[in-house]
Structure 1
Amino acid sequence: MITSARRRAALCALGALTTVLAGCSSGDPATPGRPGRPAASAPPTLAPGPAGLTPVFAHGSRTEGRTVALTFDADMTANQGARAAAGERFDHPELVATLRRLKVPATFFMTGRWAEEYPDQAKAIGRDPLFEVANHSYSHHAFTRDCYGLPTVPPERMRADVDRAFDALRKAGVERPMPYFRFPGGCYDERSLRTLAPGGVTAVQWDVVSGDAFATDADAVARQVLDGVRPGSVVVMHCTRSAAPTTERALRTIIPKLRERGFRFVKVSEQIGSKRASGARS
């Protein structure tokens, strides 16, 4: 009887110890010699829009802090591979280095084709805690007609295009791309919002156009951004040398000037999280 009682007590103690150890190891399973990593919390998204459409985010709160989100489109289409092979540069390492040097958080919207062309850079940006990476379609084809002359994705292929871009980002080494989608050209309609709704993404637009695409005057780009920014603003810019050669120089003016005005740079996810927490007030 005493032996049986002791055995039951030992088993109970072992069970309790197992429970405690399980509670201390959450997230990824531990590898030999290394503790398990904590599970990453889900990125904030907005609730579906009217009739269950994909929600659209254009700016953060105007009243809860002076935040501004700099966003950079990494554009490359499926048919630009030959141009890249011939020496045209669709990346911009100097721009990324400037953001790091000035310690500016930013959100990069990458096409899948860009991530395939520059996988090492996509991976480095995706793993840098200063940045976050989101989806900008696979090959920058439009999701509506008459969108700046871009080729159009057929409605039945829209979700597949977004999924293909997410797959390309992960294959390049972006382990946790954000559940955000930026429409190529910023062009969308009710049909495209309805088509993408089952994917659970938040569409991210902007309220400040930098005008950096194909610009040759960095000062003009800087002025346009500085004149347009308000609390909660989302600024759209580009990080491709061939299409936006002056953006990095413009940033060297924009960043210190906005900091002088009391603005704090944040990622889009922080603005979305704050907006959701405040009941989506403008």
Structure 2
Amino acid sequence: MGRHKLGIAAAIVAMLALAWLWPEGEAPSSGSLASAEPTVSESPTPGSEDGGEAETTAPADEQAGEPTGESPASDAPASPSAEPEAPAAEPVAVYEGPLGTRNHTGSEAVALTFDDGPSPEWTPRVLDMLREQGVKAMFCVIGAYAEAYPELVADIVNEGHTLCNHSWFHEFDLGTWSEAEIRANLQRTNDAITKAAPGADIPYFRHPGGQWTDKAIAVAADLGMESLHWTVDPSDWDNATTKKQIEQRVLDASSPGAIVLLHDGASNQKDMCGALEEIFAEFARRDYTYTAMGS
């Protein structure tokens, strides 16, 4: 009997001890005797191997910032093209001379034009200078001089330069004449040119003194010639203009595409030729190219 009482007392003491040690309000589960160590995944989280803070993987519906269960907004901007288109080049102003006449070559090249020849004294000199520089130019010839010096017209064509009709005898008021009179004058000039250089092309007409009229422009166009003005006039036709003035005026006013007015006849050719040497040198420094504006 005494042993039985002792056994009951020991059991009561054991139960009281367990009740005091177990957390309040919780009953041990069937797995309460399992190891208290937390479960660790087999692969380490990126960044945790070197002791750094482990990265947390966001829920799938939050990755890449995409809204959950929504389609992209309809006004979202379209993806830009890989290569944006270059802006269109500005058109070159070619016909800004009086009454819409041509005063620009239409390219980066400049054009040297020589009026009022051919001259037996100066045209050969100008041709020599052009040949030395490898430059092709334009000669606006007077019909009466073409008839008097046909060999010079032939030389101009054989050297690869372009021809231009400059009226029969430099009639300043030509554009005020009747259409029939203008036509007769220009046709007579063309005939003298083609007689000197059979088959030569005459794509341009330049009115004496630049005194253009709509009537003269229309007749020239009817004869297959474009009316040609200029960009730069250094006044080498004036005997009072010095070599330095001719040179400076051409260099100051010239830019790519310029049409330069010069004279190989009936003007101040000596100073013009002297200035031309410096003009060639400066244009070379500017990397200008030349065009004869042939058709």
TM-score range, shorter chain: 0.5 to 0.7
Shift in Å, 1:243: 4.3
Q: Secondary structure at the match of 1:213?
A: coil
Q: Could you tell me how far apart the structure 2 residues matched to 1:135 and 1:144 are? A: 13
Structure 1 match to 2:155: 124
Query: In the alignment, does 2:267 pair up with 1:260?
Result: no
Q: Which residue of 2 aligns with 1:158?
A: 182
Q: 1:144 to 1:166 in 2, by over 3 A?
A: closer
Number of equivalenced pairs: 197
Per the alignment, residue 201 of structure 2 pairs with 177
> Do the aligned partners of 1:166 and 1:177 also contact (CA within 8 Å) in 2?
no
Partner SS, residue 110 of structure 2: strand
Aligned CA distance change for structure 1 residues 108 and 114 (closer, same or farther; 3 Å): same
Larger Rg: 2
* Amino acid corresponding to residue 97 of structure 1 in structure 2: D
Secondary structure at 1:57's aligned position in 2? Answer: coil
What is the distance in 1 between the residues matched to 2:173 and 2:266? 25
Q: Which runs of 5+ in 1 are unaligned?
A: 1-48, 77-87, 146-151, 274-282
Q: TM-score, normalised by structure 2?
A: 0.61
Q: Is the 8 A contact 1:75 1:140 kept in 2?
A: no
Query: What amino acid does structure 1 have at the position aligned with 2:116?
Result: A
Greater shift, 252-261 or 213-222, is seen at: 213-222
Identity of paired residues, percent? 28
CA distance in 1, matches of 2:235, 2:130: 19
Contact 2:221–2:227 (CA under 8 A) maintained in structure 1: no
Q: Quick one: which of 231, 236, 246 aligns to 1:221?
A: 246
Post-superposition Cα deviations, 1:160-194, rounded to whole Å, max 9, x if no partner, equal: 11111110001112531322101111111223223
* Match status 1:95 vs 2:140: no
Tell me whether 1:105 sits opposite 2:136 in the alignment.
Answer: yes
Amino acid of the residue matched to residue 134 of structure 2? Answer: K
Q: What is the 5 A alignment of 1:182-261?
A: 182-215=206-239, 216-240=241-265, 243-261=268-286
Q: CA deviation at 1:241?
A: 6.2
Return the letter of the residue paired with 1:69: A
Alignment partner of 2:103 out of 51, 58, 75: 58
Q: 2 CA distance for matches of 1:253 and 1:69?
A: 16
Residue 157 of structure 1 aligns with an amino acid whose one-letter code is E
Which one scores higher on RCO, CA 8 angstroms, separation ≥ 6? 1
Alpha-carbon separation, structure 1, partners of 2:126 and 2:238: 16
**What is the rounded CA distance, in whole Å, between the counterparts of 2:100 and 2:187 in structure 1?**
18
C-alpha distance in structure 1 between counterparts of 2:269 and 2:198, whole Å = 24
Amino acid at match of 1:140: H
TM-score (ref. length: structure 1): 0.63
Q: Quick one: structure 1 residues 242 and 59, their matched pair in 2 at CA, closer, same or farther if it must change by over 3 Å?
A: closer
Specify which structure has the higher proportion of helix. Answer: 1
Provide Cα deviations, 1:13-37, integer angstroms capped at 9, x if missing partner: xxxxxxxxxxxxxxxxxxxxxxxxx
Q: Could you say what secondary structure the match of 1:73 adopts?
A: strand
Normalized per residue, the structure richer in strand is 1
Q: 1:143·1:158 contact (CA, 8 Å) conserved in 2?
A: no
Deviation at 1:98, TM superposition (A): 1.0
Q: Where do 5+ consecutive residues of structure 2 fail to align?
A: 1-94
